[in-house]
Amino acid sequence: MKPIITLIYCFLVSLSTGLMANDLANNPTSLNPQTSNELRLALTQVKLKAMPPLLMQIKQLEEQQALPLFKTLLAGRLYYVKADKRLIQMQKKGKERHYFSLETDQPLSELSKNQVKKVKLNNAVRRLLKSTIAELELNHPDPELRQAAIESLLKNLDSKLIAQLEQRRSLETQEKIRELIQVALNLFQLKTNPSPAKQIEAIEKLADRLEIPVKNQLTQVAENSIHPEVKQAAIRALTKIEHATNRYALVDQLFFGLSLGSVLLLASIGLAITFGVMGVINMAHGEMIMLGAYTTYVVQLLMPNHIDYSLWVAIPAAFMVSGLMGVIIERGVIRHLHGRPLETLLATFGISLILQQLVRSVFSPLNRQVFSPSWMTGSLEINPVLSLTLNRLYILAFALIVFFALLTLLRKTSLGLNVRAVSQNRNMAKAMGVKTGWVDAMTFGLGSGIAGIAGVALSQLTNVGPNLGQAYIIDSFMVVVFGGVGNLFGTLVAAFSLGIATKFLEPMTGAVLAAIIVLVFIILFIQKRPKGLFPQKGRAAE
């Protein structure tokens, strides 16, 4: 929606300024420093320090029409042509840069990277732009933009703004935004009205709001007010807000725990098959995850203009790459070491080193750049103190989908039946005509492939580099052993309980100590129950 609105604005601006531009070009001596074109030209020449006053001038002169300019500048997409100082906009498509006219959105394909320069900006300019854009967007037709505008204006209210807000309230149709405007008005009343009665009235109305400026203002009043009754009211309101905030903080923490749990689940679920079901200690499991992440990188290289869809391609691709590598490792190495866990451990550890060095040589030792699709950035804002980050939310859902898909595969398909048969009693299965060799290869491939899928998800959270796998291998083993070797559900429970425990410990003890406490707990737990949370029972267990 936004680009279209920008486009319409650009078009309007172009109509109004296009004629002027011609005038100026023909008659450069008659420059009036107050024309908007002259001001815009100055943008390309001033130092960063002189930028804020210049922008304010532009805002006063152009009002609404300056919006597209400001937004382009804020996004860091405002460029100018070196030769004639004409302002243009840049749009990135993957790694390529394309230039468009600022006014008409016409593509300017003749421009190359060397002919243009970026209009620079710093944090001071960004801050000014944000508040200015918010002010200009108070009356924007899109209610979401209006709401965001008012929210960001709460921080610094003044009487001029309040007048604007009051005007807006009389026009406003959305109940939520009217409420928000009311908050602003109350906040302003609390700040400026000298009468204690009025102040208390404002405080009582603000007591159930979670906006951060409200809390800050109340804290200030509670600390500094000279009227004891106002102070009391502010403290009462603050406790109420505090209670609500704490409730949401708990939800927040739970979400963090679930999210860490989902990462652990993804990383260990492949291992739960190769180690848990097949009994192979696969130290190269982390490298299967790494291969998946690198596959994502390669897929994005191949389709630079479709980053938003790249993950959908990367998931099956990563499954194939890691799965194939798994089959090769199984057929080439592990098969010959059957029943010798120590040698298997050493051999797979060697393989993990080889794979790490391989990507170092092929891709360079530096981390690779994997883009996040636009639908995975940002957060789902539930209220001012609780928002869930989207990438974590998607990965949580994805982990559960993968888990249950795998569970179905093992329980309902003939491959799953064979896998279970071989893992329970190899010789008996062989006697019944199951091709154990083939089943071994497929199982190992499946476990590795799922590790590859985990790599796709992890590429969205962490660095894609040769050491990616190393970071997860210990956690993976921990989860599988804790959950009970050979039990997929155990892995699920273990991953989430470790995730939640870590996240509830972290605020109290710090990240370093939290990790240690969890490890110590697991060591003690394994001492007591060597077979994990859900040990396998019956004859199959032996």
Would you tell me which residues interact with other proteins (CB under 8 A)?
A: 48, 76, 118, 120, 122-123, 126-127, 130, 212, 215-216, 219-220, 252-253, 256, 259-260, 263, 357, 360, 365-372, 377-379, 381, 387, 389-392, 461-463, 465, 467, 471, 503, 506-507, 510-512, 515
- Per-residue buried b or exposed e for 15-52, using 16+ beta carbons within 10 Å of the residue's own CB: eebeeeeeebeeeeeeeeeebbbebbbbbbeeeeeebb
Minimum Å distance from CB 476 to other proteins?
A: 14
Strand, coil or helix: what is 88?
Answer: strand
The nearer residue to other proteins, 139 or 463, going by C-beta atoms, is 463
CB of 12: closest distance to other proteins in angstroms? 28
Minimal distance, residue 199 CB to other proteins, in Å? 18
Backbone phi, then psi, for 125, in 5-degree steps? -65, -40
User: C-beta of 331: minimal distance to other proteins in Å?
Assistant: 28
Residue with tokens 């382009």: 72
Which of 22/357 has CB closer to other proteins? Answer: 357
Closest approach of Cβ 471 to other proteins, in Å? 5
Q: Tell me the closest approach of the beta carbon of residue 6 to other proteins, in angstroms.
A: 19
Q: Which is nearer to other proteins, 22 or 122 (CB)?
A: 122
* Assigned token pair, 504: 């509830």
Q: How many residues does the chain have?
A: 542
Minimum distance, C-beta of residue 430 to other proteins, in the bound complex (Å): 38
Give the C-alpha separation, 103 to 122, whole Å.
24
| Cβ-based burial of 165 (10 A; exposed 0-12, middle 13-18, buried ≥19) | buried
DSSP state of 372: P
| Residue 334 token pair | 């592990």
67, 136 Cβ separation under 8 angstroms: yes
CA distance 130 to 110: 32
Judged by CB, which is closer to other proteins: 263, or 317?
Answer: 263
Closer of 363 and 525 to other proteins (Cβ): 363
Angle, CA of 365, 370 and 374, to the nearest 5°: 165
- Cβ distance to other proteins smaller for residue 191 or 426: 191
- The dihedral region occupied by 252, where left means phi > 0, alpha psi between -120 and 50, and beta the remainder, is alpha
Of 395 and 441, which has the nearer Cβ to other proteins? 395
Rounded to a whole number of angstroms, the minimum distance from the CB of residue 389 to other proteins is 4
Secondary structure of residue 428 in the 3-state scheme: helix
Nearer to other proteins, 88 or 278 (CB): 88
